[in-house]
Each structure stands twice: as C-alpha cells, then as structure tokens.
Amino acid sequence: MSTKQRIPILLAAVGLLAAVSVAAQPIPMKWTVGGVERGALVFAPAASAAGGKVPVVFVFHGHGGRVEGVSRTMGFQNRWPQALVIYMQGLPTPSPVDPRGRLPGWQREVGQAGDRDLKFFDAVLATLKGKYPVDEHRIYATGFSNGAFFTYLLWATRGSTFAAFAPCAGLIGPALHLSEPRPLLQIDGEKDRLVHLADAVKTVETVRALNGTAATGEPCGNGCARYTSTQKTPVVFIVHPGGHVFPQWASGRIVEFFKTHPLAP
C-alpha cells in the first residue's frame, strides 16, 4: 500500500477516534425534584456518530456508590459509544447494611421515601427526550446491588418504557409485581453473601414465568443459561464464581444483550 493510499485510512481512523472521545466526555446535569437537587452524569454520543435516533442506557450504582467512580469502573459509555448513557446519583438512603442511611442509594418499594427516586427518573427521562433524539424502542436499565433492586422497581412501575433490563446482584422486592414481559439478563455471584444465589434463582424463575420461557435453558458460556421465549422476551442467567461484585466483563455482556433486544412492535 502506498503512502497516498494510507492517508485516507489514517484520516478515517482519526475521525473515528475523535467521535468516540467526544462521546466519552461526561456532562454533569442537575434537576430539582421535590425541592431537592439531584444530579447525574450523562455521556452523549457525538452528533456525527449518532446518525438519528439513539439508544438510552440508565445505570444505577449500588448502595454507597458515586457516579464519578461508577462511570469509570462500569464504563458503559466505552462499550457502547453510540448510546446515550446516564449514571444517576442516589441520595442517602437507609438499607440493611446502612440502617441510618448515611450513604447514597435507591428506594426498593413503591411509596418508599415519597417515591423520590421514581420521580427523579421521570424528570431525567423527560429532559433527555427534550434534549436528545431518544429512540423510544431502545431504552434500557441496569444496576448493581441496590441499583439492581431499583432496576426491578422501574420494571414494576415503568415497565412499558423499557426494552430490556440487566440487573446484577439484585432481586424483585417482595411487594413488587411485574406485569410487562421484557427480556432479562440477570448476573449473580455464586458466593454472594448479601444477595443469596437461591433468592436470585427465585427471581429468575418469576421472570421466566412472566416471559413464558422454555423449561430448559441453553448453554451460552461459562455459568450462563439462555431461556428462549415465544414472546421475544428471553431470559439469560449468568452465575459467576465470585461474591457480591460487578464483574469486569459484565458491562460488555450487558451491552451485547441490549443491542439485540429492542422493544418488540
């Protein structure tokens, strides 16, 4: 290949890298919900890379999490730079591991804390729809631990908004009722001492019944089973050998799952 032939290729590569770098820049945003200031970090794709409607990924940290750190460790914006990725910040919230509520987290049940987090979500989504070309057939939610519990709360209360869900180390709250079949990717640790695997299995069984999945799962990798569904709402259950952690590979698997599951017409 001659030098002249290489130049267009190099320029194209530079342009691609520039688009990705722009998409990876965090945009701090603020809302006032119920008289309380709330915040989030938004990673928006570059205008040149968007090319029309963009998918949206909501990410919810675990109890005690901060969006600045979580956005670096989970890195969904790097795995899917064409998507609009939002890391919402929780408020100090009581939990089984933090009964005084000194650390930030999320409500788990309907009506808890005046539904402040559900109202926060509604405000964020409304703003994003007004500011960006949101693809309403590709809105997704994922979260770790307390954030995974909140992900299930969103499913129970805002299920029609989302195309698919991917909680990690979380369960369906005892008072929640899921009525909208949706694709699920659930990730849990075999040695998790906070969210026991037996309880996670029950949550997956509840979703499988809702989604009308096959009785037997198909292997889809180490510790992975995929349950097909005639409703186009499969369930993928991954059990890793670790404890209460968000595995390094999880973001990539979640993005792959989301990309292949837009909202069915």
Domains of the chain: 24-259 (3.40.50.1820)
Which band of pLDDT confidence, cut at 50, 70 and 90, is reported for residue 10?
very low
Cβ–Cβ under 8 Å, residues 85 and 57 = yes
Tell me the CA distances in angstroms from 142 to 5, 146, 155, 195, one per residue in order: 44, 11, 11, 16
Phi/psi for 157 (5° steps) reads -110, -20
Distance of alpha carbon 153 from its chain centroid, rounded?
A: 13
pLDDT per position as a tens digit, 78-132: 999 999 999 999 999 998 889 999 999 999 999 999 999 999 999 999 999 999 9
pLDDT, position 47:
62
Is residue 17's pLDDT more than 70?
A: no
What are the helix and strand counts (H, E) for the chain?
8, 12
Is residue 137's pLDDT more than 60?
A: yes
Q: State mean pLDDT over 233-246.
A: 98
